[in-house]
């Protein structure tokens, strides 16, 4: 689609009383000294289409001001124009006017605001229809991008980057990997992680490994210093310990002592056997007593069960009595309320406001008294039933309590019978010797224990102390061997960690290579779409990281650092590519064109705004 401006007329717009610009779809140059209204013409075109000026402001000053800077009232501010869309003319007009309202009781009208009128092909339309027609024609953001050379580079860098990627297309990770065989191993390294997450994980692992590699040499040195300076013969030490063990055992081997210990063990076994027989005899003697005690306990359990059942029954009855007492109290309160209730009917007819007949009044009074008596009688009947139930329950409780007392008497009698039976029980007493055999065994055991205690044995303490010293020497050798093994393990760990560190370094190098490759491919793809403009989309950080950006450059110099002429050229170069992508051509207003003497290389209508001190009023030159 191609849009060309044919005619643009301003009336009382931003200080311009009336000006008609008629490029008739051709390229044109508007010349004038500063403050003669060149930018106003561009603002008028933008305002006509989208209600904003070239700085993208909707609240800019449209109205004409007097020499004191005050607004001039009762003026209509009008911009009209004819644009050609693919050869078809479209006439647009917009009028910004004041609203004057005459309030009730006031002879003069007062200013109350502004209103805007819209016309398409001389037909008045509402704002929503106007916006819809122009919105269908072209998107406002796209229009700014393809008509204002400086607009693209005035946007936030994130938005500029988004537009470039949309226009030129992004580079997929797969395309980057396919561009270099060295990168083929990267997907397996990344797994399910993103590139940035994988770099963080590897960096953390490198730090952990590096910290450990710093610790290992110091630990090896510490363990090496702890090794004994003298080496001892393990086999010689073990042989000497065996010799000492034989000498100690030989000294402890004592035939007389062994015989005494054997006799003691035999006497103790006989005593245990005699005591078991004594206990068996006592159990047989108490068999009849155990039987009687079991029967007494059985009767006691039965009687206690009956007593517990009666007590549970009484507790339930007491709860019922308590509940009935509460209900009867509610009945008494309700009885008082019903008894105090007064007749609520009236003696005047609510419809005709005439006194009711006496027979109707008496009939109503009779019905009230009859209903009240029935309700009171019902309450009394329910209360008497609960009272009678409570009296019955109380009698039952009293009878059950007597039964429980009687059962307790029986239980006490059985308990006394158990006590009497236990007095007859036979209890074996070690201090009372029913037979001479057990007494003799006790005497024999005490005698043997005394002999063993007083028996003199060979002293082996010196041999045992010497053995402990030799054992310590073995302990030192064992510790030294473990330390040597630990030193070997640390050496192996150090070697393995160094290898792993190198692998991680290689992985990070591969990731950085991927980033550099993607930067080169993406920036190359985007820059190929432009003739002058170049774009830097990534910034490589000092810490080897990479940060997204979007910097427009001209010959290696950032856009905001070049002169106005170069900025215009780059802006036109960007517009040319964007117009091709959006498939829309529209009039380009080139402000400050005097800073560049070249000819715009764009295939669309251009309107150059040139500062020229030789023209005190606007001068139009149509090419």
Q: What is the pLDDT of residues 512-550, one digit of tens each?
A: 888 778 778 888 888 888 999 999 888 766 555 567 889
What SS3 class is residue 38? Answer: helix
d(CA 217, CA 137): 75
Q: Which helix (DSSP H) or strand (DSSP E) does residue 4 occupy?
A: strand 3-13
Q: Which pLDDT score, from 0 to 100, does residue 31 have?
A: 94
DSSP state of 350: T
The DSSP result for 86-148, as a single string, is TTEEEEEEEEEEEEEE--TT-SS-EEEEEEEEEEETTEEE-HHHHHHHHHHH--HHHHHHHH-
d(CA 451, CA 267): 14
d(CA 296, CA 273): 34
d(CA 306, CA 508): 88
d(CA 564, CA 87): 34
What SS3 class is residue 59? Answer: coil
What SS3 class is residue 2? Answer: strand
* 153 contacts 571 by C-beta, under 8 angstroms: yes
Extract the tokens encoding 43. 């603002």
Q: Which pLDDT score, from 0 to 100, does residue 256 have?
A: 65
* 535 contacts 553 by C-beta, under 8 angstroms: yes
* 72 contacts 64 by C-beta, under 8 angstroms: yes
Extract the tokens encoding 69. 């800077």
Q: Which pLDDT score, from 0 to 100, does residue 20 have?
A: 95
Nearest partner of 518 among 134, 86, 196, judged by Cα: 196
Nearest partner of 144 among 623, 614, 571, 595, judged by Cα: 571
How many C-beta neighbours within 10 Å does residue 39 have?
A: 19
* Torsion sign over Cα 31, 36, 40, 44: negative
Ordered strands of the 110-120 beta sheet: 16-21, 3-13, 77-85, 88-101, 110-120, 123-125
Nearest partner of 528 among 142, 174, 144, 167, judged by Cα: 167
Q: Which helix (DSSP H) or strand (DSSP E) does residue 80 occupy?
A: strand 77-85
Q: Which pLDDT score, from 0 to 100, does residue 94 have?
A: 96
Residues near 619 by Cβ (< 8 Å), separated by ≥ 6? 30, 31, 32, 612
d(CA 142, CA 583): 10
Residues of the chain with pLDDT under 50: none
pLDDT tens digit sequence for 330-363: 989 998 888 888 876 566 766 777 777 888 778 8
Helices (H), 341-357: none
* 562 contacts 554 by C-beta, under 8 angstroms: yes
Is the model's pTM score more than 0.75? no
* 410 alpha-carbon distance from chain centroid: 73
HEC letters along 245-314: HHHHHHHHCCHHHHHHHHHHHHHHHHHHHHHHHHHHHHHHHCHHHHHHHHHHHHHHHHHHHHHHHHHHHH
The DSSP result for 493-560, as a single string, is HHHHHHHHHHHHHHHHHHHHHHHHHHHHHHHHHHHTT-SS-EEEEEEE-TTS-EEEEEEEEETTEEGG
How many C-beta neighbours within 10 Å does residue 537 have?
A: 19
Total residues belonging to the chain: 623
Phi-psi region of 62 (alpha: psi -120 to 50; beta: other; left: phi over 0): alpha
Nearest partner of 145 among 561, 572, 511, judged by Cα: 572
Q: Which pLDDT score, from 0 to 100, does residue 428 have?
A: 67
Extract the tokens encoding 154. 């005035």
d(CA 493, CA 436): 79
Phi-psi region of 122 (alpha: psi -120 to 50; beta: other; left: phi over 0): left
Instruction: Kindly give the interhelix angle for 140-147 and 38-50, rounded to the nearest 10 degrees.
Output: 160
Q: Indicate the burial class of 521 (C-beta count within 10 angstroms; 0-12, 13-18, 19 or more).
A: middle
What is the torsion angle, in degrees rounded to the nearest 10, for the CA atoms of residue 581, residue 583, residue 584 and residue 590?
A: 40
d(CA 242, CA 467): 9
CB environment 439-471: b (16+ within 10 A), e (fewer): eebeebbeebeeeeeeeeeeebeebeeebeebe
DSSP state of 217: H
Q: Which pLDDT score, from 0 to 100, does residue 533 have?
A: 92
How many C-beta neighbours within 10 Å does residue 538 have?
A: 18
Q: Which pLDDT score, from 0 to 100, does residue 243 have?
A: 86
* 296 contacts 421 by C-beta, under 8 angstroms: yes
Q: Which pLDDT score, from 0 to 100, does residue 9 have?
A: 96
């Amino acid at each position: 689609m191609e849009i060309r401006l044919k005619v643009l007329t301003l009336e009382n717009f931003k200080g311009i009383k009336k000006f008609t610009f008629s490029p008739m779809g051709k390229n044109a140059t508007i010349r004038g000294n500063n403050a003669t209204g060149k930018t106003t013409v561009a603002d008028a075109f933008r305002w006509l289409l989208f209600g904003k000026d070239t700085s993208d402001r909707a609240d800019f000053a449209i109205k004409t001001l007097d020499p004191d800077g005050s607004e001039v009232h009762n003026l209509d501010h009008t911009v009209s124009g004819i644009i050609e869309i693919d050869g078809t003319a479209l006439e647009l007009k917009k009028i910004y006017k004041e609203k004057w309202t005459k309030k009730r009781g006031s002879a003069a009208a007062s200013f109350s605001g502004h209103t805007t009128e819209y016309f398409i092909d001389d037909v008045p339309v509402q704002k929503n229809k106007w916006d819809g027609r122009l919105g269908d024609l072209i998107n406002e953001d796209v229009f700014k991008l393809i008509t204002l050379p400086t607009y693209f580079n005035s946007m936030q860098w994130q938005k500029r980057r988004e537009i470039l990627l949309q226009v030129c297309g992004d580079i997929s990770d797969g395309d980057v990997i396919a561009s270099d065989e060295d990168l083929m191993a990267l997907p397996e390294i990344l797994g399910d992680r993103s590139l940035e997450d994988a770099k963080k994980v590897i960096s953390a692992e490198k730090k952990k490994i590096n910290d450990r590699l710093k610790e290992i040499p110091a630990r090896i040195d510490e363990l090496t210093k702890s090794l004994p300076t003298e080496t001892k013969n393990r086999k010689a030490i073990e042989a000497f310990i065996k010799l000492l063990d034989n000498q100690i055992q030989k000294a402890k081997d004592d035939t007389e002592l062994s015989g005494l210990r054997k006799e003691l063990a035999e006497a103790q076994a006989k005593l245990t056997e005699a005591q078991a027989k004594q206990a068996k005899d006592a159990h047989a003697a108490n068999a009849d007593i155990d039987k009687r005690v079991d029967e007494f306990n059985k009767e006691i359990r039965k009687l206690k069960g009956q007593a517990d059942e009666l007590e549970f029954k009484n507790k339930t009855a007491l709860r019922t009595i308590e509940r009935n007492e509460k209900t009867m109290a509610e009945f008494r309160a309700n009885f008082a309320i019903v008894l105090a209730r007064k007749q609520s009917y009236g003696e005047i007819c609510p419809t005709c406001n005439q006194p009711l007949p006496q027979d109707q009044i008496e009939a109503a009074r009779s019905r009230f008294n009859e209903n009240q008596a029935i309700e009171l009688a019902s309450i009394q009947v329910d209360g008497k039933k609960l009272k009678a139930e409570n009296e019955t329950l109380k009698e039952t409780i009293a009878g059950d309590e007597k039964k429980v007392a009687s059962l307790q008497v029986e239980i006490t009698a059985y308990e006394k019978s158990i006590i009497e039976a236990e007095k007859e029980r036979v209890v074996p007493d070690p201090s009372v010797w029913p037979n001479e055999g057990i007494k003799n065994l006790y005497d024999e055991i005490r005698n043997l224990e005394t002999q063993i205690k007083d028996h003199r044995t060979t002293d082996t303490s010196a041999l045992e102390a010497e053995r402990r010293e030799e054992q310590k020497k073995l302990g030192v050798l064992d510790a030294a061997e473990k330390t040597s093994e630990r030193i070997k393990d640390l050496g192996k760990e150090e070697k393995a960690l160094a290898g792993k560190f190198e692998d991680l370094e290689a992985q990070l190098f591969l990731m950085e290579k991927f980033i550099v490759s993607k930067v080169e491919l993406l920036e190359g793809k985007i820059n190929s779409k432009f003739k002058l403009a170049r774009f830097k989309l990534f910034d490589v950080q000092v810490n080897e990281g990479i940060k997204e950006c979007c910097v427009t450059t001209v010959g290696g110099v950032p856009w905001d650092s070049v002169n106005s002429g170069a900025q215009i050229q780059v802006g036109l170069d960007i517009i040319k590519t964007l117009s091709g992508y959006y498939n829309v051509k529209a009039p380009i207003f080139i402000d400050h064109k005097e800073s560049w003497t070249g000819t715009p290389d764009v295939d669309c209508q251009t309107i150059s705004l040139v500062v020229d001190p030789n023209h005190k009023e606007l001068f139009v030159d149509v090419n």
